[in-house]
Structure 1
Amino acid sequence: MSILSKKIISNSLWMMIEKCISIFGLIFVTSYVAKYIGPSNFGKIALAATLFGFVQTLTWFGNQEILFKRVSRNPKSGLKYLIGTQNLRKILFLVCALPILFGLYLYSDFLTLIFGIATAFAAYFITQDVYTIYNNAILHSYINAIVNMIGLGAALLSRYLIVLFEMNYTFLAIPIVITALIPFLLKKYIFNKSQQLKPISLAHYRKYYFGAGSALVLSTLAVTLYTQVTSLMLAALTSTRELGVYAVAVTLGMSWAFINTSIITSVLSKIYREKSRYQSYMMIAKLNLVIIIISLLMVIMLAIFGQWAVNFLYGNAYQDAYELILILGLATLCSGLGTVAARLLVKEESYRYISRKMIFVAISALPISYIMIYLFELKGAAYSVMIIELLSLTVFNYFYKNGLIFKIHFFPFFKNSLKSKY
């Protein structure tokens, strides 16, 4: 059974085109900005992004994948759920964002506060952007691609002009907001032209949002924690300079993850509709193989061109980032396979296992990150990410259903036993 139909391939390509342009555009302009403001100030932007990553996670309350699955199965029902929980996300966002902004006001400098406010606005529009989920689920990602490229173009142009005319660093807050605001407004306009649904807020939607999401919110929060804990540890144990260098390494070493994500997201709409468990397991095994091949090719490219990219794009101030790139590339491979495994658990509605697993991953991430960064600083940060992703992919997954994910990872050896059982 082929997992890549023409529609899925087309949808994946649109997602990859959008992300490819976004990543390469952001790399070139971000490198321009990074050279302009230096590692320490660049680290302040990274710190603001890290903090509001938690806000986005809490606002979605574990419902992103549930929303995607619901729209994939029944677009009309899923759409009502998306719209019906919109006001709830607004309240959750304010509850989570305001304390962080107040903390930045009290304990950080003025520039960090400005970046924090801009990132808060951007995060707000991202959490209200239900149109991205809807378009991806119905395989209309071309809409997301086109409008996101328009927003990115406006943001990149504004950043370029700010640096070109050597304006005050605070003006760099403007493109942070533009990146999220313009795509949100355009997608909303396009959606409203084709859909007649009005904003609704029903009690049973709110109850389901918290009920279904409660099992996953700890999981998604744990994911955010263990993926961002390295940045927080670096800021706490070293300085924003190291965080700035690390942010560059992450950009170059992990930015290509959009390729994996695009393919996974497109294929999942087909896997979620598959009723046969064995067939879905076989499709997941094939998807794993695709992710491995793509990831290894990207790691090889990083090995060949990584040092040149750091020198050309960011300069000598960020030279330490090169040592981290290959490590983070391998971590991205593990992360891609981990995403596939996590979506299998969502398909089987094993939310309790997901929640428990990710709590253990998050708990293990704290000492691993602390020890590695304390002993090895920047290089330790990269190794801690790779170790955590590897543990999340293997050890913490293999307890599920007597090693089901282990058997899918080594599908050719367990093909017959899975077929006879499912």
Structure 2
Amino acid sequence: MQIFSNKIFSNSLWMMLEKVISIFGLIFVTSYVAKYIGPENFGKIVLAATLFNFVQTLTWFGNQEILFKRVSKNKKMGLNYLFNTQKLRILLFFLFSTPILVGLACFTDRLTLIYGIATASATFFLTQDIYTIYNNAVLQSYINAITNMIGLSVALAVRYLIIYLELDYAYLAIPILLVTFFPYVLKKWIYNKNEQPLLNKPKKYWKYYIFAGGSLVVSTLAISFYTQITSLMLAKLTTLKELGIYAVAVTLGTAWSFVNISVITSVLSKIYQIKDDQMSYALIAKLNGIVIAISLSAMTALFFLVNTIIQWLYGSAYLEAQYLVLILALSTMCSGLGTVSARLMIKQESYHYISKKMALVALSALPISYVMIKCYGLQGAAYSVLLIEFLSLTLFNYFYKNGLIFKIHFYPFFKKSFQSN
């Protein structure tokens, strides 16, 4: 069965275009900001972003993929779920963000608090942006691409103006908010022109949101934890300067991941509709091959260009990041393959296994990150991310349904066994 229809291919291209402009636009402006404020103050922005990543995860409460699957399978059912849980997400956001802001006010300096407030505001609009999920699920990602480009352009222009005028570092909080505010407003306006929100017995949906998401929130929180724990450990065990350098390495090492995510998201909207398991496994095996091919191409380009890119964009103060970029790029490939496996489990509604698996990954991440960073500093941080992603992709997945993920990873050797079932 062909993995790409014309509509899926077109949707993937729109998603990629959006991410190309967003990521590379942000790389150029972030590098401009990083040069302007230096590694230590840049580390303060990274710290705020790391903390509110957890708030975003907790607010969605494991429901992002459930929402995507519902809209993919049944548009009306998905819309009901999206809109009837909106107020619940607002309550969850304020519940989880308030303690962090209080902590920043009590234990950090003025600049970190300002960046924290701006990041909290930006995160609020991300958690309310149900329109991105809807547009991706119905293969209308061009709306996300266009609106995000507009929002990014406004934010970039404001950042350049602040730096050009040499204003106080605190003013850089403004574009942090604008980059999510404008796309949210535009997507909401476009949606309301074409569709009508459906509100019907929200308490019933709230209950499902908590109970269905409850089995996935552990896994999504664990993902946030093990992907962000390295940044938190660096801030604790080293300095904000090293955190700033590490953030540059992460940006460059993962910048190309949008290609993987765009392809995975578009193809999975088709796989979710397939009822035949053998056909699903064959498509997922093909998807794994595509992810590996994309990743190897990106790593080859980075191998030859990373030194020049860092010198050009960030300057000599960030040169230490070059030793981390390829390690983090390899971990990004593992992450992409892990995403494919996780989506298969979600398709089969194996939420309990996902929760247990990700809890174990998170528990293993803490000692791995601590020991690696304590012993090897920045390079230890990068290797700890790679090790955690590799274990998540392989060891922790291979116990699922008598080695199903292992068999899909080595599909040519197990193809006949799938057909005989």
Question: TM-score range, shorter-chain basis?
Answer: over 0.9
What is the SS of the residue equivalent to 2:401?
helix
Are the aligned partners of 1:15 and 1:142 in contact in 2 as well (CA < 8 Å)?
A: yes
User: Which residue identity lines up with residue 166 of structure 2 in the other structure?
Assistant: E
Is the CA contact 2:84–2:198 (under 8 Å) kept in the aligned structure 1? Answer: no
In structure 1, distance between residues paired with 2:108 and 2:383: 29
Aligned-partner residue type, residue 65 of structure 2: E
Q: Return the alpha-carbon distance in structure 2 between the equivalents of residues 59 and 327 of structure 1.
A: 31
Q: Separation in 1 of the partners of 2:267 and 2:168? A: 45
Partner of 1:46 in structure 2?
A: 46
> Alignment partner of 1:402: what SS?
coil
Matches within 5 A, 1:168-317: 168-199=168-199, 202-317=202-317
Cα distance in 1 for partners of 2:130, 2:367 equals: 36
Find the residue that maps to 1:81 and give its secondary structure.
helix
Instruction: Specify the SS of the correspondent of 2:272.
Output: helix
Task: Please give the TM-score of this superposition, normalised by the length of structure 2.
Answer: 0.99
The correspondence of residues 141-180 of structure 1 with structure 2, limited to 5 A, is: 141-180=141-180
CA shift at 1:200, angstroms? 5.0
Q: Secondary structure at the match of 1:19?
A: helix
- What is the Cα deviation at residue 197 of structure 1? 2.2
SS at match of 2:93: helix
Deviations 1:253-312 (A, max 9, x none): 111111100000000000000000000000000000000000000000010101110111
Q: CA shift at 1:196, angstroms?
A: 1.9
Partner of 1:8: 8
Deviation string, structure 1 residues 357-394 (Cα, Å, up to 9, x no partner): 00000000000000000001000000000000000000
| Alpha-carbon distance change, 317 to 5 in structure 1, aligned in 2, over 3 angstroms | same
Q: Provide the C-alpha distance between the structure 1 equivalents of 2:67 and 2:44, rounded to a whole number of angstroms.
A: 33
* 1:374 and 2:374 matched: yes
Q: Distance in 2 between matches of 1:330 and 1:196?
A: 44
- d(CA) in 2 for partners of 1:75, 1:373: 47
Alignment-derived partner of residue 108 in structure 1: 108
1:398 aligns to 2:398 (yes or no): yes
Letter in 2 for 1:155: A
- In 2: Cα distance, 1:331 partner to 1:344 partner: 20
Q: For residues 356 and 201 of structure 2, what CA distance do their matches in structure 1 show? A: 31
What amino acid is the match of 1:264?
I
Supply the AA of the counterpart residue of 1:340. V
CA distance in 1, matches of 2:196, 2:97: 32
Partners of 1:72 and 1:138 within 8 A in 2: yes
Query: Which residue of the partner structure matches residue 326 of structure 2?
Result: 326
Q: Aligned partners of 1:64 and 1:200: how far apart in 2?
A: 20
Matches of 2:94 and 2:13 in 1, distance apart? 35
Between the aligned partners of 2:2 and 2:409, the Cα distance in structure 1 is 18
Secondary structure of 1:51 counterpart:
helix
Q: CA deviation at 1:201?
A: 5.4
Deviation at residue 420 of structure 1 after TM alignment: 1.2
1:204 offset after TM fit, Å? 1.1
Q: Deviation string for 1:216-243 (max 9, x for gaps)?
A: 0000000000000000000000011000
Letter in 1 for 2:261: T
Seen in structure 2, the aligned counterparts of structure 1 residues 169 and 192 have a Cα distance that, compared at 3 Å, is same
Q: Is the 8 A contact 1:85 1:201 kept in 2?
A: no
- 2-side partners of 1:92 and 1:279: how far apart? 39
> What's 2:37 paired with?
37
- Name the count of aligned residue pairs: 421
- Distance in 2 separating the partners of 1:270 and 1:15: 16
Which residue does the alignment assign to 2:80? 80
Q: For 1:232, give the aligned amino acid.
A: L
Q: Which residues of structure 2 form unaligned runs of 5+?
A: none
Contact 1:83 1:200 in 2 (8 A): no
Instruction: Report the 3-state secondary structure (helix = DSSP H, G, I; strand = E; otherwise coil) of the residue aligned with 1:31.
Output: helix
Task: For residue 29 of structure 1, report the CA deviation from its aligned partner.
Answer: 0.7
- Please state whether the residue corresponding to 1:4 is helix, strand or coil: coil
Deviation per CA, 1:327-379, whole angstroms, max 9, x where unpaired?
A: 00000000000000000000000000000000000000000000000001000
State the partner residue of 1:339. 339
User: Aligned partner of 1:68: which letter?
Assistant: F
Q: What letter matches 2:49 in structure 1?
A: A
Deviation at 1:203, TM superposition (A): 1.4
* Counterpart Cα distance in 1 of 2:219 and 2:29: 34
Partner of 1:383: 383
SS of the equivalent of 2:396 reads coil
Q: Which secondary structure state, in structure 2, belongs to the residue aligned with residue 166 of structure 1? A: coil
Give the drift of 1:198: 4.8
Q: Which amino acid letter does the alignment assign opposite residue 380 of structure 1?
A: G
Moved over 6 A (4+): none
